[in-house]
């Protein structure tokens, strides 16, 4: 850990509540920003419970293979480390190069049991988006299946109820996953959620990269994006949009878990803490040394600067 990261870590430990999002935000993504996420041509090979179709995303399919194989939950409760490690092992056996990872707004104990809600319970809400881009260039085949499979899992295993699940799919039956509809769904779940509640957001579709519209904010010069069904006419959803609409305003005391099964998804929520399986004996979450803190400081104001004299 370099001196700058140690400095930032010290400041976050001191002023984290003022700088970081109030909610407990964590995201499982299928790959780093520089990686693409694989589409699986036959999800039956992952032994999913009554798969909703033959195709699916590798991240969603692998997660369900670990947690819901043959419609059964594991006999022993798995930790975040065990879930991510088993996901990586399955992907490697099937010769996928993408590496799943967990990012968070605050450091979490990755040795703790994998969970999508607080044990004491509150209302559980979900926003689920599956986009196949039917009839468009770059049409996908597995994103609707991903959504239906993961929806079955969260309802049967984690107790999410149909009335609290919003589904956006370009299947002609559900609300269309347009840019406006996606952002409105995120705004509503933020508005509805209260401390103690749990929110699960799943996205399966294209992910992209576009030139950073705030110069110097992104280390690689690009914003990571979600690609709505109407992106040609109305544009993509930047990581800045997701942070300002979904992450930052979520109330303190809410657990928000996102599963992003798309390309270039590693920092699409701009969360500063990261865990990747395979770190060896020190399996824990650390500050992402590649994370660009300019955006975080921009949203937080001058929190760090106000007490800079105390550090000198």
Report the C-alpha gap between 106 and 113 in whole angstroms: 17
Element (H, E) at 258: strand 255-261
Q: What secondary structure does DSSP assign to 281-310, as a single string?
A: S----EE-TT--THHHHHHH-SHHHHTHHH
Helix (H, G, I), strand (E, B) or coil at 266: coil
Give the active site residue among 206, 258, 262, 264: 206
Token pair recorded at residue 75: 């006999």
Active-site residue 263, yes or no? yes
Q: What secondary structure does DSSP assign to 120-156, as a single string?
A: T---EEEEEEE---TTSTT--SSHHHHHHHHHHHHHH
Helix (H, G, I), strand (E, B) or coil at 263: coil
- Which residues lie closer than 8 Å to 76 by C-beta, 6 or more apart? none
Active-site residue 206, yes or no? yes
Report the C-alpha gap between 250 and 20 in whole angstroms: 11
Give the active site residue among 143, 201, 262, 263: 263
- Residues noted as catalytic: 206, 263
């Amino acid at each position: 850990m370099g001196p700058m990261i140690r400095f930032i870590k010290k400041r976050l430990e001191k002023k984290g509540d003022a700088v970081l999002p109030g909610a407990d935000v964590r995201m499982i993504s299928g790959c780093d920003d520089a990686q693409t996420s694989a589409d699986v041509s036959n999800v039956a090979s992952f032994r999913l419970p009554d798969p909703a179709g033959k195709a699916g995303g590798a991240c969603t399919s692998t997660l369900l293979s670990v947690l819901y194989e043959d419609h059964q939950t594991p006999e022993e409760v798995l930790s975040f480390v065990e879930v991510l490690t088993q996901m990586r092992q399955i992907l490697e056996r099937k010769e996928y190069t993408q590496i799943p990872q967990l990012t968070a707004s605050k450091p979490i104990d990755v040795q703790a049991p994998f969970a999508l809600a607080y044990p004491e319970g509150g209302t559980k809400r979900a926003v689920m988006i599956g986009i196949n881009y039917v009839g468009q260039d770059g049409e996908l085949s597995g994103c609707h299946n991903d959504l239906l499979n993961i929806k079955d899992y969260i309802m049967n295993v984690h107790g999410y109820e149909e009335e609290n699940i919003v589904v956006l799919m370009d299947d002609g039956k559900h609300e269309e996953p347009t840019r406006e509809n996606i952002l409105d769904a995120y705004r509503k779940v933020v508005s509805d959620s209260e401390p103690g509640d749990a929110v699960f957001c799943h996205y399966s579709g294209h992910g992209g990269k576009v030139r950073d519209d705030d110069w110097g904010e992104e280390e690689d010069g690009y914003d990571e994006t979600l690609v709505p069904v109407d992106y040609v006419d109305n544009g993509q959803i930047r990581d800045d949009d997701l942070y300002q609409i979904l992450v930052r305003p979520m109330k303190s005391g809410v657990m928000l878990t996102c599963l992003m099964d798309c390309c270039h998804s590693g920092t699409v929520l701009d969360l500063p803490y990261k865990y990747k399986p395979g770190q060896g004996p020190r399996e824990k979450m650390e500050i992402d040394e590649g994370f660009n803190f300019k955006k975080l400081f921009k949203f937080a104001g001058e929190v760090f600067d106000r007490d800079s004299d105390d550090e000198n």
